[in-house]
Amino acid sequence: MSREKTEVPYGTLDLLILKTLETGGSMHGYSIARRIEQVSESLLRLSQGSVYPALIRLEQEGWIRTEWGVSETNRKVKFYSLTRSGRKQVQVEVENWQKANALVARFLEAAP
């Protein structure tokens, strides 16, 4: 495993999942994990399993909902999709992320 890959920054996995679901619609856990890997083009060191604890948390917050569906291997699996409040949450999270980014960026510029 390459050493250059970075860990998922703390607290951003939620945002990555929400954003993935915003574009991808209804997806199961494996395809969510794969999509995150593909988009990050292997820059990110993600244990695919770690999406599941995040998914249950987001579901309990009411931002995503689950439906039962059938996987490509013909198994019954959960499909996740955004709820109405989930869509709003995406905006909130994106704004928060941008604010935080802008703040950190200022410090980096100010540094000698």
Partner 1 sequence: MNQRRGLARALALLRKRRLERELSGEIEAHLELAARDAERTGMSPEDARLAAHRSFGGIEPMKEEHREQRSFVWVETLVRDFRYGVSSLWNDPGFTLVAVAVLALGIGANAAMFSLVDALFLKPLPFPHPERIVRVWEAPELGSINGINTMDLLDWKRMNTAFDALSAERPATAALTGAGEPVRLPVMLVSADYFQVFGVSAQIGRTFRKEEEESGASATIVISHATWQARFGGDPEILDRAVMLDGEPHQVVGVLPPGAFDRDETSIWKTLIYKPEQMNRGFHWLRAVARLKPGVTIEQAQQELTAIDKQLSDLSPDWKRDWGVAVERFDKRLVGEKLRQSIYIAFGAVVMVLLIACANVANLQIARGVTRRKEMALRAALGAGRGRLTAQLLTETLVLCLAGAVAGMGIAYGLLQAAKPLLGTSLPFTADLGLDLRVTGFALGAALLVTLLVGLLPSIQTSFGNLSQAINQGARGSSSSREMVRRTIVTCEVAVSLLLVCGALLLFKSLLQLQQVETGVRLSNVITTSVDLPLGAYPNSERAAAFYGTISERLRAISGVEQVSLSTDLPLEGVRQGMGISVPGRDGGSTIRYKRVDENYFSAFGIPILAGRSIQAQDRAGTPLVVVINEELAAQLKLHLELDNPVGKIVTVGTPNYLNSTGSSPPMEVVGVVRNERIGALDAAGSEPVAYVSLAQVPRQEVKLILLTQIPPATVLPEVRATLRQVDPTLALGEVRTMEQIHERSLSGATQPAWVIGVFGAVAVLLAALGIYGVVAHSVSQRRREIGIRMAMGARSFDVLSHLIRNGMMIVGLGLAIGLVGTFALTRLMQSQLFQVSALDPSVIVAACVCVVLVGIVATLLPASRAAMVEPVTVLRDEG
Amino acid at 24: G
Closer of 49 and 112 to partner 1 (Cβ): 49
Q: Does 30 bind partner 1 (CB under 8 A)?
A: yes
> Could you tell me whether strands 44-45 and 64-70 are parallel, antiparallel, or unpaired per DSSP bridges?
unpaired
Closer of 7 and 109 to partner 1 (Cβ): 7
Among 78, 80, 91, 32, CA closest to 58:
80
| b/e code 26-37 from CB counts within 10 Å (16+ = b) | ebbbebbbebbe
**DSSP label at 9?**
P
Please say whether the dihedral angle defined by the alpha carbons of residues 35, 38, 41 and 47, taken in this order, is positive or negative. Answer: positive
Site for partner 1 in 63-102 (CB under 8 A): 71-73, 75-78
The minimum distance between CB 104 and partner 1, in angstroms, equals 27
Q: Does 28 bind partner 1 (CB under 8 A)?
A: yes
Closer of 61 and 105 to partner 1 (Cβ): 61
List the one residue from 9, 11, 25, 53 that touches partner 1 (CB under 8 A). 53
Residues of this chain that bind partner 1 (CB under 8 A): 28-31, 33-34, 47-50, 52-54, 56-57, 60-62, 71-73, 75-78
